[in-house]
Structure 1
Amino acid sequence: MSAASARPALMLAYFTYFGVLGVFVPYFGLFLDGRGLDSAEIGLLLAIVTASRIVGPNIWAALAERTGKPMLIMRSGAVLAILGWCSSFADIGFWPLLIGFTLFSFFWTAILPQLEVSAFHFLNDDTQAYSRIRSFGSVGYIVLVMLGGWLFEIFGSEFIPASALLFLILLLSSLFLLPPISLSLSTSAVSQRFIDVLKNPLLLRFMAAALLLQMSFAPYYGFFTLYSRDIGYSGTQTGLFIGIAVAAEIIAFYYAGKILRNRSYKFLLSICYSLTVLRWALVAMFADNAWVLAFSMMLHAGSFAIAHCCAMQFIQQFFPKHFRSKGQAFYAGVIYGGGGAIGAYVSGLLWQDGAGASFTFLAAAGLALVATMLAISLPKVIPNAATN
């Protein structure tokens, strides 16, 4: 299948995948709050659910390598994630929610790393083509975020289970539009060498910076809708703020290929991470000013979109081709799983049902500052691990 013919299916897959996250990420805290959980319980649930993303991607990557069929792994993960999500329809307490969402999150991790690998496979490692197709994920996210703000005002937080389920089913359908691909990978000797690659000091420094940055996003992902509500913004206004962030993200993704071309990833990462410091500081101190809060949301273009494309560029260039599936899974597990889990748990402790909201975002700014210093220490050119 040619890159051109695969693009519509890839666009739809990214649109539906991030459409699910457009319901889950911004409104999940409100949903759990509506079910009667306090901030410590919300932080704990988010941390445990997110922790499943540490081991999940690596398990699914190992299965994809063993079978050589990443599309089968994605489709299976989507089916099982739907089953886990169905637990959200029952209001029967903290532990059933925890078990159901942990299963959902674990199976959910089967999808994105393999989708990224498949996308680069179909696009022949064209970063510019990838960034434009990836922007459809941001479109899906913003559509559901905006729609979610409206639905929240009408139905309250219980709009989430059915809305996310609909997009989960659409996601599964979109994955069947992608043709199967067979990736013939090396055998057991490769796995041993992969462990050696993970010990590379450059990779460890890059991962540490990305981990701290992801931890800094935890208050935003887990508590921003609650924060916005407590300040006095309506559900529609909150959806608009998040919509501004995602609109900036879409534009950044669309032009990311041109932005990255002939520019040092180190320079771009340093800029993006420093903008994140400014972003969380503004949210901490000036969130009651709608214009300042809207401006802080525009910084999402750098702190997420361009930073993500730089990270994907690093993974694609640093890991030899036969390691890229494992590299994507390792990155997803450590950064989104580990960083998200630690950040969510600590944020839940610091939040104190809203009393520690400003301090929590200031702490996030501090983490982003350390990440910036690590990014500045990286080399200008990404070496391939096979040459080190």
Structure 2
Amino acid sequence: MMQMSARPALVLAYFTYFGVLGIFVPYFGLFLDGRGLSSADIGLLLAIVTASRIVGPSVWALVAERTGKPLLVMRCGAILASMGWLSSFADYGFWPLLCGFALFSFFWTAILPQLEVSAFAFLNDDTQAYGRIRTSGSVGYIVLVMLGGWLFERYGSEFLPLSALLFLLLLLCSLFLLPTVTVNAELSSEHVSFTKLIKNTVLVRFMLAALLLQMSFAPFYGFFTLYSRDLGYSGTQTGLFIGLAILAEIVAFYFAGSLMRNRSYRLLLSICYGVTVLRWYMLATLADNVWLLCFSMLLHAGSFAIAHSCAMQFIQQFFPKKLRSRGQAMYAGVIFGGGGAIGAYFSGLLWQNGAGASLTFTAAALLALAATFLALTLPGGKGAGKTLQ
């Protein structure tokens, strides 16, 4: 298959990767609800499926590190994830769904950490260029969220299996268009112990704050579409709400590089996490007001886009090039896997088929508040990348 130059190929890869998530993340709860699962079952399934992301990134990172071929790892992951996704077409109850989605999630984890490492390698660690290319992922997400809302109204929750599979196949094609990158060529000769690095107290505080924040996102990712439906909003309106959040994310990603320049992680992350406290509290208490709900969605710019850009740059600066793949994998596994799984499980218990919605989002706000306090303990000077270790 022909290959493209790096930047347009990265744009396409991010667009299709997050396009899949635009179908999967907002509408998965509705899909499972349509298959007759209770909120406790949905929370448990989401927790177990998400837990497969704890181990997966590290496994794939070791493969990429040993082979020096992150593209091969991503391509294999996309092929196998597509095969796991096929289980969604059959309706045989809870356990077959669980097994199929766990396989999908495990192989899915092969893609993003290696894509992030490859992107920074292609871009020579240019944060501003990364932020602008990463906006294509947000565009893919918003396009599919909007399309998903329309498809849900027209076809019900069973629109999800085929729609997501089509974008999985497009993702696979995009990965074959990426030019070859050999990360080994970028490695430094310095010998730094990964075990020693992960015991660093700055990294521990950063990871714990990010873990708490990701836990706080669980009710939004798992139950917002159900919450919106219960509040009387249509599928199209729900798609517009999520689309508004992603539009704010796109703008934030575009300017993230400039915003982060010469500012400390303590300042940026504490502001982003503090904004998240407000966001979840508004969802808990004011979501029946459409304008305030829209305002809360705009806060996604800080609570996700700027926070994520800071996290990616933190990992790139904290770990030497030799260990960045493992650093990205650890972050993905612990934060998205561990934090997502724990948050999903307890959200499912608190949600109580909608009766505990306000309580669940209030608990999310408290988690984000704890993350904010931890972020305030990070190094504080300008050019914080020089003070990470």
Is TM more than 0.5 here? yes
- Tell me the matched-pair count: 381
Q: Secondary structure at the match of 1:184?
A: helix
| 2:385 aligns with one of 382, 385, 388 | 382
CA distance in 2, matches of 1:345, 1:280: 18
Check whether the contact 2:118–2:183 (CA below 8 A) recurs between aligned residues: no
CA deviation profile, 1:144-190 (whole Å, cap 9, x unmatched):
00000000000000000000000000000000000122222889x96
In structure 2, the residue matched to 1:275 is: 275
In structure 2, the residue matched to 1:107 is: 107
Q: Does 1:53 align with 2:45?
A: no
CA distance in 2, matches of 1:376, 1:183: 34
Check whether the contact 1:318–1:384 (CA below 8 A) recurs between aligned residues: no
Aligned-residue RMSD, C-alpha:
1.4
CA distance in 2, matches of 1:179, 1:133: 16
In structure 1, the residue matched to 2:366 is: 366
Q: Which moved more, 1:240-249 or 1:264-273?
A: 264-273
Q: What's the offset of the Cα at 1:193?
A: 1.3
Check whether the contact 1:53–1:336 (CA below 8 A) recurs between aligned residues: yes
Q: What's the offset of the Cα at 1:292?
A: 0.3
CA distance in 1, matches of 2:106, 2:52: 5
Counterparts of 1:39-188 in structure 2, within 5 Å, are: 39-184=39-184
Q: Secondary structure at the match of 1:263?
A: coil
CA distance in 2, matches of 1:383, 1:129: 21
Q: Percent identity?
A: 75
In structure 1, the residue matched to 2:353 is: 353
CA deviation profile, 1:346-369 (whole Å, cap 9, x unmatched):
000000000100000000000000
Which AA in structure 1 matches 2:282? L
In structure 1, the residue matched to 2:309 is: 309
Check whether the contact 1:58–1:330 (CA below 8 A) recurs between aligned residues: yes
Q: What's the offset of the Cα at 1:269?
A: 0.6
In structure 2, the residue matched to 1:28 is: 28
CA distance in 2, matches of 1:6, 1:64: 19
In structure 1, the residue matched to 2:296 is: 296
Q: Secondary structure at the match of 2:87?
A: helix
Q: Secondary structure at the match of 1:359?
A: helix
TM-score (norm. length: structure 1): 0.96
CA distance in 2, matches of 1:285, 1:257: 34
CA distance in 2, matches of 1:128, 1:180: 22
Check whether the contact 1:320–1:384 (CA below 8 A) recurs between aligned residues: no
Label 1:384 to 1:58 Cα distance change in 2 as closer, same or farther (>3 A). farther
Label 1:57 to 1:384 Cα distance change in 2 as closer, same or farther (>3 A). farther
Q: What's the offset of the Cα at 1:383?
A: 4.2
CA distance in 1, matches of 2:295, 2:98: 35
Q: What's the offset of the Cα at 1:384?
A: 6.7
In structure 1, the residue matched to 2:257 is: 257
CA distance in 2, matches of 1:172, 1:77: 9
Q: Secondary structure at the match of 1:382?
A: helix
CA deviation profile, 1:5-37 (whole Å, cap 9, x unmatched):
310000000000000000000000000000000
CA distance in 2, matches of 1:92, 1:316: 43
CA distance in 1, matches of 2:286, 2:338: 29
In structure 2, the residue matched to 1:322 is: 322
Q: What's the offset of the Cα at 1:321?
A: 1.1
CA distance in 2, matches of 1:184, 1:253: 28
Q: Is there any run of 5+ residues in structure 2 with no aligned partner, and where?
A: none
Q: What's the offset of the Cα at 1:196?
A: 1.2
Q: What's the offset of the Cα at 1:263?
A: 1.6
In structure 2, the residue matched to 1:7 is: 7
CA distance in 2, matches of 1:194, 1:252: 32
CA distance in 1, matches of 2:184, 2:261: 30
CA distance in 2, matches of 1:54, 1:29: 21
Check whether the contact 2:5–2:179 (CA below 8 A) recurs between aligned residues: no
CA distance in 1, matches of 2:142, 2:174: 19
CA deviation profile, 1:287-327 (whole Å, cap 9, x unmatched):
00000000000000000000000001110111111110100
CA distance in 1, matches of 2:183, 2:283: 44
TM-score (norm. length: structure 2): 0.96
In structure 2, the residue matched to 1:228 is: 228
Q: Secondary structure at the match of 1:176?
A: helix
CA distance in 2, matches of 1:5, 1:142: 25
Counterparts of 1:209-220 in structure 2, within 5 Å, are: 209-220=209-220
